[in-house]
Amino acid sequence: MHGRTALDRIASATESLRPPFAAVDAVALDANAADLCRRSGGMPVRVAAKSVRTRAVLERVLGPNLTAGGGFRGIMTYSPAEALWLARLGAQDVLMGYPTVDADSIAEITRDRVLSGRITLMVDDVAHLDIIRAAAGSDRIKPRICIDVDASLRIGPLHLGVRRSPLREPDQVARFAARAKDRGFRVVGIMFYEAQIAGLPDSSVAIELVKRASAAELRTRRGAVVDAVTGVVGDLEFVNSGGTGSLEVSSADPVVTEVTAGSGLFVPTLFDRYKAFAPNPALYFALPVVRTPTRSVATAFGGGYIASGPASKSRVPTPVAVSSAARGLLLGGLKLLRNEGAGEVQTPVAGAGISIGDRIWFRHAKAGEVCERFDALHIVESDGSVTTVPTYRGEGKNFG
């Protein structure tokens, strides 16, 4: 399925809806889900909820109990409040993707027998152990924890990757794991997120060389870390790695037991230049044209949905098509104005022949973040029917 086909279906099925709104093509969504499982080589795929932020989509890939379906198993959350909410809805395998210092949420998790069995907390520092233990309120409680290990590539003084965990070398991680075990924690997993592989498009020969070098270094070090940790705490339930952009690399490592992906369900613009897979966008949003200051510029309402990360043109939404009831869908030939970009209440778009009342279709730079701008997603099924489902925002959930 290609973006043109998906957007054709979306534009046709949503003609009666009033923009701004966001819509998902179910055919593309389901194809992307199948492709993630294919690319993982049969290894379970944990869904990164931050890249989805819509319960109905999580249920579509994980089943109504939000636990496992097809090749997907488990959820990775970004907030403890989100983890609690999903676990109470039935999710039985929730991994916190990041450490938290929210003592109230930690207390709720650790002091409840059901929730403490469903939610695994992320740690990488003794301070995290102290906070969790204090919130738990008892030394008899044995919280489930996963250790985040730095997966970046270091070449001399260069640090290639994101700044996450201070834990890196096998002996260092093993000492931390032993300390956690001695304090009554259950070390059930280890996570390695190789952002310099998963999050970088194949846009140059230099980047491809860095990604290959990083994969080779991490494969050796990751195995040594796992051996060192299991030597002091015993068998682990899981070794997590990967991201949408690195599923093949991560799943090929024999010590990895599961991979994480979420953005690959919607396929935002940041994933347009990877050689491992072809982009198949499923999520678009439509803005109404409210004025035409010149014959070659149309101004749409809203649109300043800037993605997180380094401030650059790669983080702005991309106009891809214009549609109207009279003329149908016209693709291409659109671009943001350099001096204005995407605006808080209006976005000018360069393109000929656009009229007031038309709608301009955009793709977002990142996946789940755009859901914070809309109360609902309109899911267009293969038969043209539309199901409207609430996003996190639509359910009144703001997880920060």
Does one domain contain both 97 and 246? yes
Question: What is the pairing mode between strands 346-350 and 335-336?
Answer: antiparallel
Give dist(CA 400, CA 394) in Å, integer. Answer: 15
H helices within the chain, ranges in order?
3-13, 26-39, 55-62, 80-88, 103-110, 113-118, 126-136, 170-182, 195-198, 205-233, 247-251, 263-266
Residue 160 reports pLDDT greater than 70:
no
Single residue among 266, 300, 334 that ends a domain in this structure? 266
Does one domain contain both 71 and 171? yes
Does one domain contain both 237 and 371? no
What percentage of the chain has pLDDT greater than the value 70?
94
Single residue among 207, 240, 266 that ends a domain in this structure? 266
Give domain status of residue 236, yes or no. Answer: yes
Give dist(CA 237, CA 220) in Å, integer. Answer: 20
Give dist(CA 303, CA 301) in Å, integer. Answer: 7
Q: How far is CA 354 from CA 270, 288, 291, 304, in A?
A: 27, 11, 9, 20
Single residue among 266, 299, 326 that ends a domain in this structure? 266
| Cβ(290)–Cβ(357) below 8 Å | no
Considering its fold, how many domains does the chain have in total?
2
Give domain status of residue 46, yes or no. Answer: yes
Confidence tier at 325 by pLDDT (50, 70, 90): confident
What percentage of the chain has pLDDT greater than the value 90?
77
Q: How far is CA 207 from CA 246, 250, 273, 307, 312, in A?
A: 14, 18, 12, 22, 18
Look up residue 169 and give its DSSP letter.
Answer: S
Residue 44 reports pLDDT greater than 50:
yes
Give domain status of residue 187, yes or no. Answer: yes
What pTM value is reported for the model? Answer: 0.92
Radius of gyration for the chain, computed over Cα atoms and rounded to the nearest angstrom: 22
pLDDT in tens, 235-245: 999 999 988 88
- What pLDDT is recorded for position 198? 59
Residue 105 reports pLDDT greater than 90:
yes
Kindly report the CATH number assigned to the domain that includes residue 374: 2.40.37.20
- What pLDDT is recorded for position 1? 39
Backbone angles phi, psi at 281, to 5 degrees: -60, 135
Does one domain contain both 126 and 95? yes
| Cβ(354)–Cβ(298) below 8 Å | yes
Kindly report the CATH number assigned to the domain that includes residue 37: 3.20.20.10
Residue 282 reports pLDDT greater than 50:
yes
- What pLDDT is recorded for position 139? 87
Enclosing domain of residue 323: 283-391
CA-wise closest residue to 366 among 129, 199, 179, 223: 199
Q: When comparing pLDDT for 400 and 259, which is higher?
A: 259
- What pLDDT is recorded for position 369? 95
pLDDT in tens, 18-40: 999 999 999 999 999 999 999 99
Does one domain contain both 225 and 117? yes
Cis bond upstream, residue 20 (ω within 30): yes
Give domain status of residue 399, yes or no. Answer: no
| Cβ(77)–Cβ(86) below 8 Å | yes
Q: How many CB atoms lie within 10 A of CB 310?
A: 6
| Cβ(69)–Cβ(61) below 8 Å | yes
Does one domain contain both 213 and 354? no
User: Helix 126-136 vs helix 103-110: angle between axes, to the nearest 10 degrees?
Assistant: 60
pLDDT in tens, 384-397: 999 999 999 999 99
Does one domain contain both 174 and 319? no
Does one domain contain both 291 and 260? no
Q: What residue has token string 């955009």?
A: 362
> What does the CA dihedral 56, 200, 226, 255 come to, rounded to 10 degrees?
70
Give domain status of residue 97, yes or no. Answer: yes
Q: How many CB atoms lie within 10 A of CB 294?
A: 10
Give dist(CA 186, CA 203) in Å, integer. Answer: 42
Does one domain contain both 262 and 291? no
Does one domain contain both 93 and 209? yes
CA-wise closest residue to 3 among 279, 255, 394: 279
Give domain status of residue 7, yes or no. Answer: no
| Cβ(41)–Cβ(389) below 8 Å | no
Residue 2 reports pLDDT greater than 60:
no
Q: How far is CA 276 from CA 201, 258, 272, 307, in A?
A: 10, 19, 11, 23
Does one domain contain both 332 and 377? yes
